[in-house]
Protein backbone atom coordinates (compact mmCIF):
# COMPACT_ATOMS: atom_id res chain seq x y z
CA UNK A 1 0.00 0.00 0.00
CA UNK A 2 1.20 3.51 -0.80
CA UNK A 3 2.57 5.22 2.33
CA UNK A 4 0.41 8.31 1.71
CA UNK A 5 -2.72 6.15 1.68
CA UNK A 6 -1.52 4.30 4.77
CA UNK A 7 -1.03 7.56 6.68
CA UNK A 8 -4.40 8.81 5.49
CA UNK A 9 -6.24 5.73 6.66
CA UNK A 10 -4.53 5.90 10.05
CA UNK A 11 -5.41 9.58 10.46
CA UNK A 12 -9.00 8.89 9.45
CA UNK A 13 -9.35 5.96 11.86
CA UNK A 14 -7.89 7.90 14.79
CA UNK A 15 -10.04 10.94 14.00
CA UNK A 16 -13.19 8.82 13.88
CA UNK A 17 -12.21 7.10 17.15
CA UNK A 18 -12.36 10.57 18.73
CA UNK A 19 -15.70 11.22 16.99
CA UNK A 20 -14.20 14.31 15.34
CA UNK A 21 -15.02 15.79 11.97
CA UNK A 22 -12.25 16.74 9.57
CA UNK A 23 -12.97 20.33 10.59
CA UNK A 24 -12.40 19.45 14.26
CA UNK A 25 -9.06 17.83 13.45
CA UNK A 26 -8.07 20.75 11.24
CA UNK A 27 -8.80 23.21 14.04
CA UNK A 28 -6.96 21.18 16.68
CA UNK A 29 -3.91 20.68 14.46
CA UNK A 30 -3.80 24.18 12.97
CA UNK A 31 -4.29 22.91 9.43
CA UNK A 32 -6.92 23.65 6.80
CA UNK A 33 -9.82 21.23 6.49
CA UNK A 34 -9.17 20.59 2.80
CA UNK A 35 -5.56 19.72 3.61
CA UNK A 36 -6.74 17.19 6.21
CA UNK A 37 -9.11 15.77 3.61
CA UNK A 38 -6.26 15.41 1.11
CA UNK A 39 -4.15 13.60 3.67
CA UNK A 40 -6.97 11.18 4.48
CA UNK A 41 -7.54 10.47 0.78
CA UNK A 42 -3.82 9.87 0.24
CA UNK A 43 -3.46 12.68 -2.30
CA UNK A 44 -1.26 14.86 -0.09
CA UNK A 45 2.31 14.08 0.90
CA UNK A 46 2.57 15.51 4.43
CA UNK A 47 5.92 16.53 5.87
CA UNK A 48 7.17 15.23 9.20
CA UNK A 49 6.17 18.59 10.69
CA UNK A 50 2.58 18.08 9.53
CA UNK A 51 2.59 14.50 10.83
CA UNK A 52 3.76 15.81 14.21
CA UNK A 53 0.93 18.38 14.30
CA UNK A 54 -1.66 15.74 13.43
CA UNK A 55 -0.26 13.27 15.96
CA UNK A 56 -0.26 15.88 18.72
CA UNK A 57 -3.87 16.82 17.97
CA UNK A 58 -4.88 13.14 17.91
CA UNK A 59 -2.96 12.38 21.11
CA UNK A 60 -0.69 9.73 19.61
CA UNK A 61 2.97 9.29 18.76
CA UNK A 62 3.82 10.42 15.20
CA UNK A 63 5.15 6.94 14.41
CA UNK A 64 1.65 5.52 14.88
CA UNK A 65 0.54 7.39 11.74
CA UNK A 66 3.04 5.32 9.73
CA UNK A 67 1.98 1.94 11.11
CA UNK A 68 0.59 -0.63 8.69
CA UNK A 69 -3.18 -0.32 8.44
CA UNK A 70 -4.99 -2.73 10.68
CA UNK A 71 -7.63 -4.98 9.16
CA UNK A 72 -11.09 -4.40 10.62
CA UNK A 73 -12.23 -7.04 13.13
CA UNK A 74 -15.22 -9.15 12.12
pLDDT tens digit sequence for 4-32: 999 999 999 999 999 999 999 999 999 99
Residue 74 pLDDT greater than 80, yes or no:
no
Report CA 45 to chain centroid distance, whole Å. Answer: 11
pLDDT over 70 for what percent of the chain?
93
Identify the pLDDT of residue 69.
76
Domain architecture of the chain: domains with CATH: 3-59 (1.10.260.40)
What three-state secondary structure class fits 19? Answer: coil
Report CA 11 to chain centroid distance, whole Å. Answer: 2
Residue 65 pLDDT greater than 90, yes or no:
yes
Identify the pLDDT of residue 15.
97
Residue 73 pLDDT greater than 90, yes or no:
no
Q: Are 11 and 54 in contact (CB under 8 A)?
A: yes
Amino acid sequence: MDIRRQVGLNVQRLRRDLDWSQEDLAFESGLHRTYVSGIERGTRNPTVTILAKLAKALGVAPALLLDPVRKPKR
